């Protein structure tokens, strides 16, 4: 079931990249794609560490500058605790928000984020994969084709072997390029 939810959210994330130019005729941008890299202050339950992420995404803009997007995120996690080695994460995110344009090509996007996240925890020699729903808030500032942003996300992660859900929290600073 959880794999099915991840597959559906991944499909929705990718489907925004394939949308047509519905609003091109009325002078509004219809879509932009981007790649970004981010660094996070990462917490998973009582564990703390750093997270480095790479994002591939797209946003479709509609009337009155509302947007819906889709992102695929790949992450490398390094925890400060010695009992846990490097870990990896994968997420499909759907940002939904409002776009505000300023002078020239500068703009700001404010959005909420929902998605599904999977994280592999590497307790030597055992590896555990936890997964669950993800949500958060973010803002991006764009100058021409470059963007910088900050976002706060949380996820409730678990699996059949983990008795209690683990709360994942991230505060991420990222930079990217739009095309």
* pLDDT string in tens for the chain (179-residue length): 555 555 555 555 555 444 444 444 444 557 899 999 999 999 988 888 899 999 999 999 998 899 999 999 999 998 887 677 778 999 999 999 999 998 888 999 999 999 999 988 887 778 888 899 999 999 999 998 999 999 999 999 888 776 678 899 999 999 999 98
State how far the Cα of 95 lies from the Cα of 41, in Å rounded to an integer. Answer: 20
In the chain, domain spans: 2-19+27-178
Share of the chain above pLDDT 90, in %: 54
State how far the Cα of 135 lies from the Cα of 93, in Å rounded to an integer. Answer: 8
Q: Which of 151, 171, 135, 174 is nearest to 41 (CA)?
A: 171
Q: How much is the pLDDT for 22?
A: 44
**Residue 122: exposure state from Cβ atoms within 10 A (0-12, 13-18, ≥19):** middle
Q: Is the dihedral of CA 77, 133, 177, 40 positive or negative?
A: negative
Q: How much is the pLDDT for 132?
A: 93
In this structure, what are the phi and psi dihedrals at residue 2, rounded to the nearest 5 degrees?
A: -65, -35
Rounded to the nearest integer, the mean pLDDT of the chain is 84
What global pTM score does this model have? 0.81
CATH class of segment(s) 2-19+27-178:
mainly beta
pLDDT in tens, 64-110: 899 999 999 999 998 887 677 778 999 999 999 999 998 888 999 99
Q: How much is the pLDDT for 163?
A: 67
Q: How much is the pLDDT for 6?
A: 56
């Amino acid at each position: 079931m959880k794999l099915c939810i991840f597959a559906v959210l991944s499909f929705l994330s990718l489907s925004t990249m394939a949308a047509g130019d519905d609003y091109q005729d009325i002078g509004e941008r219809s879509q932009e794609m981007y790649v970004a890299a981010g660094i996070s202050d990462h917490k998973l339950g009582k564990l703390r560490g750093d997270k480095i992420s790479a994002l591939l995404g797209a946003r479709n803009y509609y009337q009155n500058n509302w947007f819906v997007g889709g992102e695929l995120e790949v992450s490398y996690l390094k925890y400060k605790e010695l009992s846990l080695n490097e870990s990896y994460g994968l997420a499909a995110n759907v940002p939904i928000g409002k776009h505000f344009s300023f002078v020239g090509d500068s703009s700001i996007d404010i959005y909420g984020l929902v998605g599904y996240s999977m994280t592999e925890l590497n307790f030597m020699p055992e590896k555990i994969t936890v997964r669950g729903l993800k949500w958060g808030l973010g803002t991006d500032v764009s100058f021409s084709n470059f963007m910088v942003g900050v976002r706060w996300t949380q996820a409730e992660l678990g699996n059949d072997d983990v008795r209690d859900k683990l709360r994942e929290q991230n505060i991420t600073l990222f930079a990217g390029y739009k095309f």
